[in-house]
Amino acid sequence: MAKPAPMVEIWRGPLLESVHYGHAVICDDAGQIVQSWGDPEALIYPRSSSKMIQALPLLTSGAAEKYGLTSEQLALACASHNGAEIHTSRVDAWLSQLGLGDDDFRCGPQEPSDIPARDALIKTDNSPCQVHNNCSGKHAGFLTLAQHMGAGPEYVEVDHPVQQACLEAFEETTGLTSPAFGIDGCSAPNFATTVVGLARSMAWFASAADRSGREADAAQALTQAMIKHPELVAGEGRACTNLMRAMGGKAAVKTGAEAVFVAILPEKRLGVALKIVDGATRASECAITAILVSLGVLDANDPAALKYLNASMTNRRDLHVGTIKAAPGFA
């Protein structure tokens, strides 16, 4: 088993202060490894980076067509959003479309990370609702699929038809049997796979235009929805949104908790997956940016890229004190 590779360095003044290690894989449209760092076979939880896989049954089942879901709703189904008004108003409208309410969610309430939305709750002495949960779009998709299936309300249980459909899609696109699952922050099962399995899944999405059929159409629709609505996939100030805007349609990217990041590159028919072993988000954002730059889909000098790669670290007086950069030999 290969060891994690040094992927991101933190420099303060003349000294290397910290190093983040990880695993990363780039796969082609045949599911083969084009390039890798660390251990491609490292077993991980993809966390929220797998939301587009979890959304596949929403389309392949016919539920999305039946309910007339828009590209905005498909983007929200893949989102880890900020809980801003642009997110919650759309998810609330989706619930109303289903004849359901906030109590039908099983994701739990979460304070929005969007500052205006958080301040509005404080000013009106209101508590966060489940619609503010960063995964509420995904859960609206789960509820839509459950209603389409005529299945029960406890849609996050691992043996529920919704989650079994997600598992089937997960194993098909990764090309691997998932050996285990954990419960995610939003209470849904998160199925484990290898880093190469996750990259293979992203390449499966990236190469969907070369195939025909319901699954290929679903993969293309979800990828294009993310690219078309980057502000719905995450939100202002977030890496997913910033990077997708900067790439102008060349890639869809998605973060996951504990420093997982994936990318779908349709023009190049490539899929990318990475995991920083210490779970540091600053490192996963730097690493995915470095890979995107190396693949030629992101300009290294774009302001969005410079927020994460060769990024200046400042102190509380806004003085430059250090730099976040890719480790030598990585990307």
Each residue of 297-316: pLDDT tens digit? Answer: 999 999 999 999 999 999 99
SS3 of residue 247 by DSSP: helix
Each residue of 269-282: pLDDT tens digit? Answer: 999 999 999 999 99
* pLDDT score of 136: 98
Question: What is the DSSP secondary-structure string of 7-23?
Answer: EEEEEETTEEEEEEEEE
What is the residue extent of each domain of the chain?
5-326
Residue 325 has pLDDT above 80, yes or no: yes
Residue 1 has pLDDT above 80, yes or no: no
The type of residue at 271 is G
Helices (H), 155-238: 161-174, 195-206, 214-228, 230-233
Residue 28 has pLDDT above 90, yes or no: yes
Report how far residue 182's alpha carbon sits from residue 113's, in angstroms, rounded to the nearest whole number.
24
CB distance 24 to 283 below 8 Å? no
Residues 6 or more apart whose CB falls under 8 angstroms from that of 211 comprise none
CATH code for the part of the protein at 5-326: 3.40.710
Q: With cut-offs at 50, 70 and 90, classify the pLDDT of residue 2.
A: confident
Report how far residue 163's alpha carbon sits from residue 90's, in angstroms, rounded to the nearest whole number.
24
Each residue of 73-90: pLDDT tens digit? Answer: 999 999 999 999 999 999
SS3 of residue 15 by DSSP: strand
* pLDDT score of 210: 97
Residue 25 has pLDDT above 80, yes or no: yes
Report how far residue 61's alpha carbon sits from residue 161's, in angstroms, rounded to the nearest whole number.
12
Report how far residue 283's alpha carbon sits from residue 260's, in angstroms, rounded to the nearest whole number.
10
pTM above 0.75, yes or no: yes
Q: With cut-offs at 50, 70 and 90, classify the pLDDT of residue 128.
A: very high
Question: What is the DSSP secondary-structure string of 309-324?
Answer: SSEEEE-TT--EEEEE
Determine which helix (DSSP H) or strand (DSSP E) holds 327, and give its type and residue range: none
Residues 6 or more apart whose CB falls under 8 angstroms from that of 161 comprise 146, 149, 151
Closest CA to 328 of 5, 18, 39: 5
